[in-house]
A and B are shown apart, each in its own frame.
Chain A
């Protein structure tokens, strides 16, 4: 009995299925970046694909109609959206409609990272770059930079949907066009699905600390000292935020001796003050926009930041370069 069952299963599944919709990979254009912009009568769809190189923008009454129009415009090769790496939203795009489309689509995935463009359109962005680096490569670099430097986080469509459905507010990574390339622009703040404001790139690290996302970031303190936050812990309870930072001394002007307790304590306080200032700016911005991004509600919160500088990389104490002690 098992053999006939397996034979019939072959009829149902795979490329030889009775529903055979099998397509050879050569006949497909793998769309890597999907861009959306608002239009007076619908939406502008932009795509970027590497092989064959495709950078196109078309308009349609809806995303689906624009996809159909795009298919007609690009000729015989079938556009394949199943492995899209980024969703790029131009300023003013109907974000709920875009997220609804991705959630409903059996092609696109909820794990696709979304990047919101500030003062720019996706149509402009997909035309960026030359033969070596297209918009997808730029977005990949941008995402890697954000992950490495804690200067943002590329939330996915699923994460955005989830946060919007739970609290009505969400964040999306923002980028802007500068000098012919995409630059980090912090975060776009969504409330009820609409982008109501922005968090500046220099404050994005504070958002990451509050959300316990990738926290590694370099901070320039006074006296030419740079510290790198290596780890953090954020606890929120009963109207109080307690943030603990673990950092390392990564650069000085050559004269800072971290082995001295007083020096270390001064630097730790400077770091705490700097981060506290950033957090206050972020929370103030959220309050102004009535966006409860961190689940703190309307109540006033007490913020405490504690920093510990735990090491100073390979150099324990400064080297005297004057030769006076010799």
Chain B
């Protein structure tokens, strides 16, 4: 994708901002359900398979943006078409799960459509404009979100039952608990491979970003399991925001979950705009006709997908906790392996 001189910092900022959207969809609830009080350790363990995936991906990315490489083969173009469909479907799931998070945490019992439309109203122009503006926005928004998240985690420290975090489950459970973060990391690394920063990708910077992701995820899981207990965390629909509801800064500032969930619209926007940009790129390369024409239909398909996947909260959970993670892992790993063994000539 035409990078329009993306800096390395902007490149990682978008990855960091966008990943925060699905992060709170799967963490801490899903990880606690899989690995109980060892959820924090599972997040740290996810670093190992993610590092392995990076070792595979970085040499591929050094050859150029992934989209360009895939377009050089017939099978590659088929993969691009498949990825386009995937980006639209995934966008739909994100749109609906973002709306569910927002509406549940804000205690608003209304339809999701206004949220979906407003989010697309932000994301479509961003995707039409190209990546530069989106990356610049990410560079500005990420520190704000990081500071907010950091403050919440600090406020949780005093309310945690630290000894409970020492009860570590068996290795099998721990590894199973690493899967949600593994899927998120693989997805973000692979998707960002379609963009190309000024400098060629470096293994060290990839690993540094992954380490930060795993540490952040571990801190979120530890805070929630330490405060609410792994069993209760696993049963809550939005455990992170329930945790926030119970936080207080010196008894002077409390009930700030609405503020934080409002801020979490930014990662939703970044992820959605990124998916629209990616689908614009992959659709253009697959059809050998690049252009902006794919953005609006893509947005409409996302809207339709959001309606289908979220008919009930239970169906949305199935999509976001089972179907999407498995599909992400299968798609990203198989596409990376295929590119690794089929370099463009």
| Co-assembled chains A and B | yes
Point out residues on A near B: beta carbons under 8 Å. Answer: 1-2, 4-5, 8-9, 11-14, 17-19, 21, 82-83, 103, 106-107, 109-111, 158, 161-162, 165-166
Query: Please, how many angstroms separate the alpha-carbon atoms of A106 and B140 in the complex?
Result: 32
Are A110 and B262 neighbours in the complex by a CB distance under 8 Å? no
| 0/1 interface trace, chain B 225-257, chain A, CB 8 Å (1 if under) | 001110110011000001001101000000100
Q: A residues within 8 A CB of B114?
A: 18-19
Most A Cβ at <10 Å: residue of B115, B136, B229, B266: B229
Query: Please, how many angstroms separate the alpha-carbon atoms of A11 and B114 in the complex?
Result: 10
Q: B residues within 8 A CB of A82?
A: 255
User: In this assembly, does B333 line the interface, its C-beta being within 8 Å of a C-beta of chain A?
Assistant: no
Partner among A12, A17, A110, A166 whose Cβ is within 8 Å of the Cβ of B231: A166
Partner among B140, B229, B235, B246 whose Cβ is within 8 Å of the Cβ of A109: B246
Q: B residues within 8 A CB of A19?
A: 106, 108, 110, 114
| 0/1 interface trace, chain B 74-114, chain A, CB 8 Å (1 if under) | 00000000000000000000000000001011111010001
Q: Would you give the shortest CB distance from B35 to chain A, in whole angstroms?
A: 15
Q: List 26 A-B contacts (CB under 8 A).
A: A1-B125, A1-B129, A1-B134, A5-B137, A11-B118, A12-B102, A12-B262, A12-B265, A14-B262, A19-B110, A21-B108, A82-B255, A83-B255, A103-B236, A106-B105, A110-B228, A110-B242, A111-B159, A158-B228, A158-B232, A158-B246, A161-B232, A162-B161, A165-B229, A165-B231, A166-B229
Are A165 and B262 neighbours in the complex by a CB distance under 8 Å? no
Query: Please, how many angstroms separate the alpha-carbon atoms of A83 and B254 in the complex?
Result: 9
Query: Please, how many angstroms separate the alpha-carbon atoms of A111 and B156 in the complex?
Result: 12
Query: Please, how many angstroms separate the alpha-carbon atoms of A5 and B134 in the complex?
Result: 11
User: In this assembly, does B296 line the interface, its C-beta being within 8 Å of a C-beta of chain A?
Assistant: no
Query: Please, how many angstroms separate the alpha-carbon atoms of A18 and B119 in the complex?
Result: 13
Query: Please, how many angstroms separate the alpha-carbon atoms of A17 and B118 in the complex?
Result: 12
Q: Would you give the shortest CB distance from B142 to chain A, in whole angstroms?
A: 13
Q: Would you give the shortest CB distance from A281 to chain B, in whole angstroms?
A: 26
Partner among B102, B129, B228, B242 whose Cβ is within 8 Å of the Cβ of A162: B228
Please provide the chain B residues from 201 to 235 with a CB less than 8 Å away from any CB of chain A in the complex. Answer: 227-229, 231-232, 235
Are A5 and B122 neighbours in the complex by a CB distance under 8 Å? yes
Query: Please, how many angstroms separate the alpha-carbon atoms of A12 and B136 in the complex?
Result: 22
On whether A106 and B107 interact (CB within 8 A), knowing A1-B126, A2-B137, A8-B118, the answer reads yes
